[in-house]
Structure 1
């Protein structure tokens, strides 16, 4: 498998402890200054989302603050200074409604922000169970689904076409192997994506090193065969291609999914000498933007690393 190395310009395990020589080819991406974008002032990081054009949003994990940057000019700065007590883990941007959905981590919450006004549109409690960790989110036509890495549950938040958030949260119990009880130190359900016009959810399971299909109506799950994805974290799906971020392994696997989503094959492994425990990823044309979480590392600038998507 081909490995990609990039040049520079300028802790997941720590999180568990809290809870218990070239630029990109011109044809591959829009012009940008550097392959590494520093989240100026960030003391932690975890989530990233693609916004309008080449804009991205990234979260400061332990404070919940939101950064905004642009992959063309290679800059990012603090954008939303949120109230104390929040976290920012996985996130997705709804560019049609100017909304940013953020998984709230260890407080069992989810937050929705307006990316024009910076206001908090919704502050939702998804789970009150002890040690819940709301980890990631995927958008669907009628709202969003969030994962809980400590329990076999998914949470659906519905949003109208005008951006009105319904306060009632639907809890979906995941059945089968993907929803099995976990030991206190384990992380289960993690990254999440939607496929087949939102009729199937695909969920990464960190402990099982696996991906699962989940029926969004009854919670039935089945493993996607042929994959062994150690440290699997955030995932992204477009058509039959899935990108799986493997945080402590410092790589992103590009997976070809079978038509019925029953199996997958790793077609490529994307690496960078600048990866420092990447956790989640956003896509801009032929460019992936992965955020470095740097868990269990000495303090250093937190970064977004740009690599080819190789699709």
Structure 2
């Protein structure tokens, strides 16, 4: 971790705790007292999570597209952006260092951007997709997965992270498109030159390495490991966390630099998992929303987020 970035984390953590908990201690010690489980609003139906440069988690709602922000220090939060309604869900989301949120609009076929400070929806792009599922940020684009079609959507980014035009990238090579749910989570390779996309169909479920210039996909060698329920991906250095939602676990791989090969090194399980879907990191923890896809959602359905230790 770069020293200046570590220092910013220390300062923001101190501010979140009122500047008292870190006197005579460290940020890590303070974070050790932060909650490892906290409630989300009843009926919220979370799916995606993102954490930026301050200790706040942002969650997207499948129910109506709302964005909920929670303090990692206290677990308390509030809706900071109202969605566009039941026909405009929010699934995967990411925040950049400029405070802009990029939202995958699920069955609405939309990409959306939101100002995380004001909660204002800035832009809505109707890409004509059938199910826009997840998103990852690169220096030049936000890349979105499309679950029911063999394509990715690329939203060009300016020098300050401002959104530009959208392009559609057809997937070829080793890509296998099933008759139903196929693509899900997305990440970058450790060297930043390509994208990693969950393909729940190919060879029993696994990862594809996609060249963002050509769309050519190559199956990633994960040895005997399979990702039939693979959902959100999170890359920390060369360690890739792959959330397997319906299996209530996270498979952990060590990747080579190019992302062509991964070795399974751990499996994280927790009795608090209730179909977690995606993961984001802060300090030495992973935070995950429990989507509870095994129950019929109602306005009174209880939801929460949990934290587990990184490998």
TM range (shorter): 0.7 to 0.9
Matched residue SS, 1:279: coil
The separation in 2 between residues aligned to 1:210 and 1:222, in whole angstroms, is 11
- Report 1:85-100 matches (<5 A): 85-94=87-96, 96-100=97-101
- Structure 1 position 33, deviation (Å): 4.0
TM-score, scaled to structure 2: 0.84
Matched positions, count: 277
Post-superposition Cα deviations, 1:270-294, rounded to whole Å, max 9, x if no partner, equal: 1111100000010112100011110
Match of 1:221 among 217, 221, 225: 217
Q: Trace 1:104-253 onto structure 2 (pairs within 5 A).
A: 104-126=105-127, 128-129=128-129, 132-166=130-164, 168-178=165-175, 180-183=176-179, 186-208=180-202, 209-225=205-221, 226=223, 227-253=225-251
| Rounded Cα–Cα distance in structure 2 between residues aligned with 1:55 and 1:98 | 12
Q: Quick check: 2:102–2:111 contact (8 Å CA) kept in 1?
A: yes
CA 1:240 to 1:288, structure 2 compared with 1: closer, same or farther past 3 Å?
same
Number of the residue aligned with 1:308: 309
TM-score (norm. length: structure 1):
0.84
Gaps of 5+ in 2: 1-26
Higher relative contact order (CA 8 A, sep 6+): 1
Q: Distance in 2 between matches of 1:173 and 1:46?
A: 26
More helix per residue:
2
**Aligned match of 1:288:** 286
For residues 274 and 30 of structure 2, the distance between their equivalents in structure 1, rounded to whole angstroms, comes to 23
1:42 deviation in Å? 3.7
Contact 1:234 1:280 in 2 (8 A): yes
CA distance in 2 between counterparts of 1:269 and 1:195 reads 20
**Aligned partner of residue 101 in structure 2, secondary structure:** strand
After superposing on structure 2, the runs of 4+ consecutive aligned residues of structure 1 that deviate more than 6 Å are none
Is the Cα–Cα contact under 8 Å of residues 45 and 291 in structure 1 kept in the other structure? Answer: yes
Unaligned runs of 5+ in 1: 1-25
The two structures, once aligned, show a CA RMSD in angstroms of 1.8
Aligned equivalent of 2:84: 83
CA deviations on 1:3-46 (whole Å, 9 max, x unpaired) are xxxxxxxxxxxxxxxxxxxxxxx958813443211112343110
Distance across 2 between alignment mates of 1:120 and 1:215: 30
Quote the Cα distance in structure 2 between the aligned partners of 1:58 and 1:274.
18
| In structure 2, C-alpha distance between the alignment counterparts of 1:261 and 1:29, rounded to whole Å | 35
Residue range with higher mean Cα deviation, 251-260 or 104-113: 251-260
